[in-house]
Amino acid sequence: MIFKPLNVDKWSRKPYFEHYFNHVRCTFSVTANLDISYLYAAVKNKGIKLYPALIYMITTVVNRHHEYRTCLDSEGKLGYWDSMSPSFTVFHDDDKTFSTIWTSYCEDFGEFYRGYLEDLEKYGGAKGLHAKPNEPPYTFPISSIPWVHFTGFNLNIYTEGSFLLPIFTMGKYDRQGPQVLLPLSVQLHHAVCDGYHAGILFNELQRLADNCDDWMTPNYKRLE
């Protein structure tokens, strides 16, 4: 993947970045329910796992907008990756710990899903924080708390506050009448994203869930 440096002096967001990164450094979180009623029925009908479908949706939206891919490279230069892949958590029921696995993103859901299943089969039982080695720098984090249908979630990261990428956390889906609602929280850095960008994110995710037949092909090779 290619890291594209930003010319900050010609960047329309320069005054906002400088304010929220250099003077009032802050992040903010937004939590909202996604209506996954149709998506949930579709994955059940096709025998597909819900978690990778949601990971695919999130990664697809992240890759549509450079604001969600803007970060500092290893040398501290500001720019954005031309494409990013998800780094997601898996839970170990035997000792109640978790590990992270990353899967290369592909616009074709079938290819991404096969990659997810292969990674899960190979690394899903590995213990430790990073189950799959050699994670590239062009990943962003997704995690899940499938035991709680939360109404709010906030991360408190006590570092220098220079992590600019979005951080996603899913909750437990809940049936409310005919609807299946999934809480999703995203932590954003105000230096690169505003409330508008949070709104775009959730609106596009909802459209992907409502129109999942457009990107979800019917047949997949299962890994037993």
- 190 catalytic? Reply is yes
- Return all residues near 212 (Cβ < 8 A) that are at least 6 apart: 38, 39, 42, 43, 53
Residue among 23, 65, 149, 190 flagged as catalytic:
190
DSSP letter string, 158-184: -S-S---S-EEEE---EEETTEEEEEE
Name the helix (H) or strand (E) containing 100: strand 97-102
Q: How far apart are CA 192 and CA 6, in angstroms?
A: 12
Q: How far apart are CA 9 and CA 205, in angstroms?
A: 32
Which residue(s) pair with 175 in the sheet? 180
* Positions marked catalytic: 190
